[in-house]
């Protein structure tokens, strides 16, 4: 019987077949079938050498031992030749895989299949799996809703942190993550939860109400219809999952102001009292501390942002710190971490879409992150209505700013390796 738990964790079990372990099956190319004779020759050579060793230990004649000695020397040369041939062939195969676009595509497909198998995939009513950049010949982005902005050089994803305290559910954070192949950046754009928006099929409300009314499908629809931008997929984590992800990673480095440190040590935002011992300056926060920090909005951030503007800034800072921790890990550490982290994430992305995203990031060396926020400065009014404290947006101006940031409608000169926060 197969060890199903081990397979779920991505660990290889000796009873598993290749098809059980690998997410995708790769057929051996026909031209490699001619190698059968080559490997048969290796097997026969090794068998002959073992037989000779047995004859010698059994006590052969002097002449036989002399002949065996010469034969052994010749066979060793043959085995060495074959061994080096194998190594050369493997080097060539690896070079062809890594050194060619087609070969690397196999790797991206394998990784995408693996991630898809480990992550918590969910079905979306409105999602049709496709090439997320729309740059395949068979894809036609013209079929996208003409009212929604979509370009082949950008893929936009909505990531949300879900609060499920008391059995309910609401989005405590919402960000559009844009992967841009034109200027080779990843842009994180926070959408503030108090934005007063039209929610399809419902009365106008705060943006974070959309999730409680209709889940991620309705939230995606709400953002698309209000901000006129195509969302290509989404991912969510809840509070417990967020804590686990940070802890698996080993914690994150965050600098705190004196007001922040005092607030975190004297309130229940850090839910475990044993961890209420942060200090002014740089801290290495565990998952429980990082979650508490991400939720604070009643004291100013380091730098002066306040209210929900400060909270979204903290959330972007934590996400950037997580990216920095990932960048500091070696390949083997990353494999172990990702194997543990992926089951905590829910997404509607398919394996092929994950492969396309990975290929775009690696092939274009997209390692620069920029931070932005909507509403942009001066394009909103703080107000109070039947929904409580809300932000009334100048949608035309904010959409124009969103297009400028994400689609580069105006000339944008990104600052490499600099995390840009819009001042308040």
Domain residue extents for the chain: 4-99, 123-407
- What's the pLDDT at 222? 97
pLDDT at 304: 81
Helix (H) or strand (E) holding 117: helix 101-118
Which residue in 128, 145, 126 sits closest to 217, CA to CA? Answer: 126
- The burial class, CB within 10 Å (0-12 / 13-18 / 19+), for 160 is buried
pLDDT at 7: 38
**Residue 89 contacts by C-beta under 8 Å, 6 or more apart in sequence?**
none
* pLDDT of amino acid 38: 40
> What is the fold of 123-407?
Aminopeptidase (3.40.630)
Task: Give percent helix, percent strand, percent coil of the chain, each to the nearest 5.
Answer: 50, 15, 35
DSSP 8-state assignment for residue 373: E
What pLDDT score does 83 carry?
Answer: 73
Give buried/exposed letters for 111-126 (b at 16+ CB in 10 A, else e). bbbbbbbbbebbebee
pTM score of the predicted model: 0.71
Which of 315, 304, 256 is CA-nearest to residue 264? 256
Classify the C-alpha dihedral 351-355-357-358 as positive or negative: positive
Per-residue confidence (pLDDT) for residue 98, from 0 to 100: 54
Beta-bridge mates of residue 159: 175, 235
Yes or no: say if 239 and 270 are a contact pair by the CB < 8 Å rule. Answer: no
The per-residue pLDDT string of the chain (424 residues; one tens digit each, 9 = 90 and over) reads 434 443 333 333 433 333 332 233 233 333 333 444 444 454 555 455 545 554 554 555 555 555 555 666 666 776 677 776 676 665 555 555 556 777 788 888 888 888 888 999 887 666 665 568 875 545 444 556 889 999 999 999 999 999 876 555 778 899 999 999 999 999 999 999 999 999 999 999 999 999 999 999 999 999 999 999 999 999 999 988 999 999 999 999 999 999 999 999 999 999 999 999 999 999 999 999 999 999 999 999 988 888 888 999 999 999 999 988 988 888 788 888 989 999 999 999 998 899 999 889 888 989 889 999 999 988 999 999 999 999 999 999 999 999 999 999 975 444 333 333 433 3
CB atoms within 10 A of CB 231: 21
- Write down the pLDDT at residue 48: 58
- Of 360, 353, 361, whose CA–CA distance to 130 is shortest? 353
Longest CA span, the chain: 106
Task: Tell which residue, 165, 256, 321, has the closest CA to residue 265.
Answer: 256
Q: Give the pair of three-digit tokens for residue 13.
A: 């079990």
């Amino acid at each position: 019987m197969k060890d199903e738990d081990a397979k779920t964790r991505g660990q290889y079990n000796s009873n598993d077949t290749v098809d059980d372990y690998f997410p995708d099956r790769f057929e051996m190319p026909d031209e490699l079938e001619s190698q059968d004779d080559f490997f048969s020759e290796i097997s026969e050579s090794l068998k002959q050498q073992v037989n000779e060793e047995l004859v010698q230990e059994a006590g052969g004649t002097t002449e036989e031992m002399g002949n065996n000695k010469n034969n052994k020397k010749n066979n060793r040369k043959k085995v060495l030749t074959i061994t080096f041939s194998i190594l050369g062939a493997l080097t060539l195969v690896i070079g062809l895989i890594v050194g060619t676009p087609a070969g690397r595509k196999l790797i991206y497909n394998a990784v995408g299949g693996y991630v898809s198998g480990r992550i918590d995939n969910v079905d979306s009513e409105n999602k049709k799996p496709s090439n997320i950049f729309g740059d395949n010949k068979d894809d036609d982005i013209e079929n996208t809703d003409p009212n929604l902005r979509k370009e082949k050089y950008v893929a936009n994803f909505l990531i949300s942190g879900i609060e499920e305290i008391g059995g309910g559910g609401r989005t405590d954070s919402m960000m559009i993550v844009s992967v841009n192949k034109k200027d080779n950046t990843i842009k994180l754009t926070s959408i503030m939860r108090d934005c007063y928006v039209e929610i399809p099929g419902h009365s106008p409300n705060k943006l974070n109400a959309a999730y409680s009314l209709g889940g991620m499908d309705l939230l995606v629809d709400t953002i698309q219809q209000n901000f006129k931008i195509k969302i290509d997929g989404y991912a969510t984590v809840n509070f417990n999952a967020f804590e686990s992800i940070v802890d698996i990673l080993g914690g994150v480095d965050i600098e705190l102001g004196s007001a922040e440190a005092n607030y975190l040590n004297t309130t229940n935002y850090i839910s475990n009292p044993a961890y209420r011992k942060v200090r002014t300056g740089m801290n290495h926060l565990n998952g429980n501390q990082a979650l508490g920090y991400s939720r604070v909005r009643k004291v100013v951030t380091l730098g002066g942002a306040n209210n929900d503007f400060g909270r979204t800034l903290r959330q972007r800072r934590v996400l950037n710190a997580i990216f920095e921790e990932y960048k500091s890990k070696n390949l083997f550490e990353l494999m172990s971490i990702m194997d543990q982290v992926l089951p905590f994430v829910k997404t509607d992305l398919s394996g092929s879409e994950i492969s396309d995203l990975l290929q775009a990031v690696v092939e274009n060396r997209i390692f620069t992150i920029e931070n932005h926020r909507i509403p942009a400065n001066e394009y909103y009014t703080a107000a109070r209505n039947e929904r409580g404290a809300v932000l009334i947006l100048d949608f035309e101006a904010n959409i124009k700013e969103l297009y400028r940031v994400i689609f580069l409608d105006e000339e944008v000169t990104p600052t490499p390796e600099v995390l840009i926060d819009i001042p308040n």
